[in-house]
């Protein structure tokens, strides 16, 4: 198999992370650089980079050939591409070190982890406050003082993704306007209980509002099976879409209901209404940006603990969340 072509010389290589939500927020934070006309290359893990490949959001894309390439391997690509700048918004020093080894003149990233050493421009991520996108914007403004804040435009994937998405929508028998129910989450303690999804599916079915399940992981498939057992005939696209086709489906949906997950960030970036359920995550830091309504329990002292494991052992912030709170928020999403 031949190697993909190197993107155009003189571009800003933007490092992506394997986390969909973080990469979507990186994409949204780059609007000032797009307004300046800078060529941007999405660079990182294949699954995430494929989402942006061929879209209008980036002038080029480059996928890592290995799961976690070393700094020397990354430097070879940057040198061959004659990159003008490396923008490392994930908190990783490797892209900055690779840029230094490749002789890239501008290297922008975070000071943590020794990143200030290979960087030509850096800030401390932990010293900043507020949303991740605002922190990204602070670093971009430091590196490009002439950059003017600009609202992120709605994301649209490449044309081929729309073809695949349209085919899957047709196969599922869905109308033009339907509600996407995204089951996925990066960790167990961010997942809405299956009982809540069942209550929502029954609520939508009683109202005659078209809907479909979305997801990809083995856990998503398992939960979808439980929902289908309780609610036979529920349309499901779980396991049938890659990331770019999922984005195409979301652009045609009336809205999305999701966990604190990459799909919720992606749906918001695509410009559709989103109802997102948060438990242990702090929305001040990473609520999806767009037309978003947040649902969470406000009566818990431990809410937004930012822990991967519940210290109380029961994740009550999601387990005991009243389904009615989710249903009421969903009822506010208009079908177009």
Within this chain, domains 12-143 and 159-331 share the same CATH topology: yes
Was domain 12-143 assigned CATH 3.40.50.2000? Answer: yes
Contacts of 10 (CB under 8 A, 6+ apart): 39, 82, 83, 84
Say whether pLDDT at 313 is over 80.
no
pLDDT band, very low/low/confident/very high, at 318 (cuts 50, 70, 90)? confident
Residue spans per domain, the chain: 12-143, 159-331
- C-alpha 328/C-alpha 203 separation (Å) is 10
User: What does the CA dihedral 276, 26, 247, 12 come to, rounded to 10 degrees?
Assistant: 180
Long-range contacts of 31-36 (CB under 8 A, 24+ apart): 31/150, 31/151, 31/152, 31/153, 32/137, 32/140, 32/141, 32/144, 32/147, 32/148, 32/149, 32/150, 33/140, 33/144, 33/147, 34/150, 35/147, 35/148, 35/150, 36/144, 36/146, 36/147
Model pTM score: 0.94
The answer to whether residues 141 and 123 touch, using CB atoms and an 8 Å cutoff, is: no
Say whether pLDDT at 169 is over 70.
yes
Q: For residue 277, which of 209, 178, 182, 155 has the smallest C-alpha distance? A: 182
- C-alpha 267/C-alpha 274 separation (Å) is 7
Looking at every residue in the chain, the average pLDDT score rounds to 92
Was domain 159-331 assigned CATH 3.20.20.70? Answer: no
Average pLDDT for residues 146-153, to the nearest whole number?
89
Strands (DSSP E) along the chain, which ranges?
12-15, 40-44, 60-63, 85-88, 106-110, 121-123, 179-182, 211-214, 255-259, 274-277, 292-295
Residue count of the chain: 336
> pLDDT (tens digit, 9 = 90+) per residue, 258-288?
999 999 999 999 999 999 999 888 899 999 9
Say whether pLDDT at 303 is over 90.
no
Average pLDDT for residues 38-55, to the nearest whole number?
96
- C-alpha 64/C-alpha 46 separation (Å) is 6
- Flag the least confident range among 49-63, 250-264, 307-321: 307-321
The answer to whether residues 250 and 256 touch, using CB atoms and an 8 Å cutoff, is: yes
Give alpha helix (H) positions in 53-93: 71-81
């Amino acid at each position: 198999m031949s190697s993909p072509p190197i993107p155009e010389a003189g571009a800003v290589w933007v490092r992506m992370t394997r986390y969909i939500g973080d990469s979507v927020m990186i994409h949204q934070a780059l609007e000032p650089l797009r307004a300046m006309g800078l060529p941007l290359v999405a660079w990182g893990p294949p699954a995430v980079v494929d989402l942006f490949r061929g879209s209008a959001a980036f002038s080029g894309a480059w996928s890592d050939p290995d799961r976690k390439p070393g700094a020397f391997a990354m430097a070879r690509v940057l040198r061959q591409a004659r990159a003008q700048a490396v923008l490392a918004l994930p908190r990783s020093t490797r892209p900055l070190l690779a840029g230094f080894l490749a002789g890239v003149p501008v290297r922008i990233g975070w000071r943590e982890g020794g990143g200030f050493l290979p960087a030509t421009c850096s800030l401390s991520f932990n010293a900043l406050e507020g949303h991740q996108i605002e922190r990204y914007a602070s670093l971009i403004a430091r590196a490009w003082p002439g950059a003017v804040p600009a609202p992120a435009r709605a994301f649209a994937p490449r044309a081929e993704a729309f073809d695949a998405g349209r085919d899957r929508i047709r196969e599922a028998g869905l109308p033009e306007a339907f509600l996407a129910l995204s089951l996925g989450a990066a960790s167990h303690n961010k997942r809405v209980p299956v009982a809540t999804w069942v209550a929502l599916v029954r609520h939508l079915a009683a109202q005659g509002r078209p809907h479909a399940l979305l997801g990809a992981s083995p856990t998503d498939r398992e939960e979808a099976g439980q929902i289908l057992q309780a609610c036979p005939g529920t349309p499901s696209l779980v396991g049938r879409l890659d990331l770019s086709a999922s984005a195409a489906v979301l652009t045609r949906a009336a809205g999305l209901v999701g966990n604190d997950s990459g799909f919720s960030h992606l749906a918001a970036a695509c410009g559709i209404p989103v109802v997102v359920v948060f438990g242990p995550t702090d929305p001040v830091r990473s609520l999806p940006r767009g037309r978003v309504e947040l649902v969470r329990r406000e009566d818990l002292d431990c809410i937004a603990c930012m822990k991967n494991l519940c210290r109380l052992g029961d994740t009550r912030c999601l387990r005991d969340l009243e389904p009615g709170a989710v249903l009421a928020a969903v009822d506010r999403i208009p079908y177009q």
